[in-house]
Amino acid sequence: MMMKPILATALLAFVFTDSAYSQQAFPATLSSHAQLPGSTFVAAPSGAAEHYNTSGRFTGEEGRIEQLYTNLQATGLALPFPSQPLQGFSGIRSLGDDRFLVLTDNGFGSKANSSDIILMFNIINPDWKTGRVTIEETVQLSDPNRKVPFPIMNEATPGRFLTGADFDIESIQPVGDTYWIGDEFGPWIIQVNKEGEVLQVIATNPGGTMMRSPDNAFALTPNPGAPLSDDVVVFRSGGYEGMALSEDHTTLYPLLEKPVWDSNDNAPETIDGTPVLRMFELSTDTGEWGDTTRYYPLASADHAIGDFNLIEGTRGLIIERDSRQGDPRAEWANDPAEFKRIYLIDLDRTNEQGVLEKIAYIDLMDIQDPNGIAPRGTIDGTFNFPFVTIENVDRVDERTIVVANDNNYPFSIGREQGQADDNEMILLDVADFLNAE
């Protein structure tokens, strides 16, 4: 019988009432806007096979497509592409001086269609005056020292570059001269050096309980009628979407995107009827899992989180969103975005079961833009962020946060009818929100 991990007694206990989840809403004002065109590409790294001069050849419903620009999408774009799309951002950290570390998603959305995408992260520099974004540095991931515990797509090649068929990287944290990356396929935690070379890959087994998704290389689907594994089942695309880092850089807080499967209830995990996401602790010094598990409460079972960063001490920001896209004020949006919020939490504010309190939130569908800063998306002084996946948030200064979307290039249409989304980055003035108690 699977038991929920016991929360460390050092945590403060809070008794939640029926109104515990009625958080206070705070206003957000747009202060800057920049965007990187969705059709932004980078060259395959030196040493990669010629195969990687083309990408997206496996996105067709009937398998391989080698002829460029033949797989037409609703966005008007067609795959395969020459070169590698820089794609949407699935994790961000502010580096100061208007420089940001951003993680590129695994490719085209699944393990099956992303084997010709080489994984990467970038350092970018938005010019908030012109709205343009400059790519300062691109780092592609590889495994030259065979640290990955399973066969990778480029197992027998000299470069041993990692692809979107190996990992689905969704969160990133810089620690010293290395980077720690959260993955959804395993879910795994990956440490790489500044050249993007894998140093270690850590399986998810807090408390000695192995947790695997259907995309884990070691997950075996049972025959009909066969008993399931004792592993905790993480949903496909439900791994580490967010991963915060403590101020002293010694502890990571990986957060699952979706609830795990509760085999006792034969349903996604809940606590007192509320769907919850597990948040773990991992030491960057030892690579060992901690004893504490916290739970983030979702407002709805069909929601997911998009990013998680600590902003000071134990206080942090978490994006929670639905899976809809499109501006509800636009007639063309068939299933428009509705719930896109950023919540303020505190790791020390939980109830006796380890469920985090949601202190306050801002609504990304109701951003004030009185000065008309946004080039698109503002109507009658109100700007919104109606993207299906909003996967980037971090604090820039005492009153400002940065938010960015994952544009799922070339598929998502959230901003304009029939147009592939760009990578939009916004600065929001949210001083009262950041100081909420």
Residue 298 lies in a domain: yes
- The answer to whether 240 touches 171, Cβ cutoff 8 Å, is yes
Residue 345 lies in a domain: yes
Residue 212 lies in a domain: yes
State the Cα–Cα distance between residues 203 and 189, nearest whole angstrom: 7
Residue 204 lies in a domain: yes
Q: What angle do CA 178, 179, 181 make, to 5 degrees?
A: 150
- Token readout for 283 is 């030491």
Q: Which of 105-109, 183-187, 224-228, 364-368 comes out lowest in average pLDDT?
A: 224-228
**Which residue in the block uniquely carries the two structure tokens 């008993």?**
227
Is 227 strand, coil or helix? coil
- Which pLDDT score, from 0 to 100, does residue 219 have? 87
Contact residues for 388 (Cβ-Cβ < 8 A; gap 6+): 323, 324, 325, 337, 408, 412, 414
**Which residue in the block uniquely carries the two structure tokens 């636009």?**
330
Specify the number of domains making up the chain: 1
Compute CA 91 distance to the chain's CA centroid, rounded to the nearest angstrom. Answer: 5
Helices (H) then strands (E): counts for the chain: 1, 37
> Tens of pLDDT along 405-436?
999 999 999 999 999 999 999 999 999 999 99
Residue 368 lies in a domain: yes
> Tens of pLDDT along 158-197?
999 999 999 999 999 999 999 999 999 999 999 999 999 9
> Tens of pLDDT along 18-59?
334 558 999 999 999 999 999 999 999 999 999 999 999 999
Compute CA 335 distance to the chain's CA centroid, rounded to the nearest angstrom. Answer: 22
Q: What is the mean pLDDT of the chain?
A: 92
- Which pLDDT score, from 0 to 100, does residue 370 have? 96
**Which residue in the block uniquely carries the two structure tokens 């797989």?**
71
172: CATH: 2.120.10
> Tens of pLDDT along 313-350?
999 999 999 999 999 999 999 999 999 999 999 999 99
State the Cα–Cα distance between residues 146 and 169, nearest whole angstrom: 18
Residue 136's domain spans which residues?
13-220+231-434
Residue 2 lies in a domain: no
Residue 272 lies in a domain: yes
> Which regions of 119-258 does DSSP assign to beta strands (E)?
120-127, 132-140, 169-175, 178-183, 188-193, 198-203, 211-212, 232-233, 240-245, 251-256
Q: What's the pTM value of the predicted model, to 2 decimals?
A: 0.92
User: How is 158-178 classified by DSSP, letter by letter?
Assistant: SS-B-BTTT--EEEEEEETTE
Look at residue 6 and tell me whether its pLDDT is greater than 60.
Answer: no
Helix (H) or strand (E) holding 431: helix 431-434
Q: Percentage of the chain surpassing pLDDT 70?
A: 93
Look at residue 7 and tell me whether its pLDDT is greater than 50.
Answer: no
Residue 23 lies in a domain: yes
Buried/exposed code over 387-398 (b: 16+ C-beta within 10 A; e: otherwise): bbbbbbbbbbee
> Tens of pLDDT along 255-298?
999 999 888 888 899 999 999 999 999 999 999 999 999 999 99
State the Cα–Cα distance between residues 382 and 165, nearest whole angstrom: 40
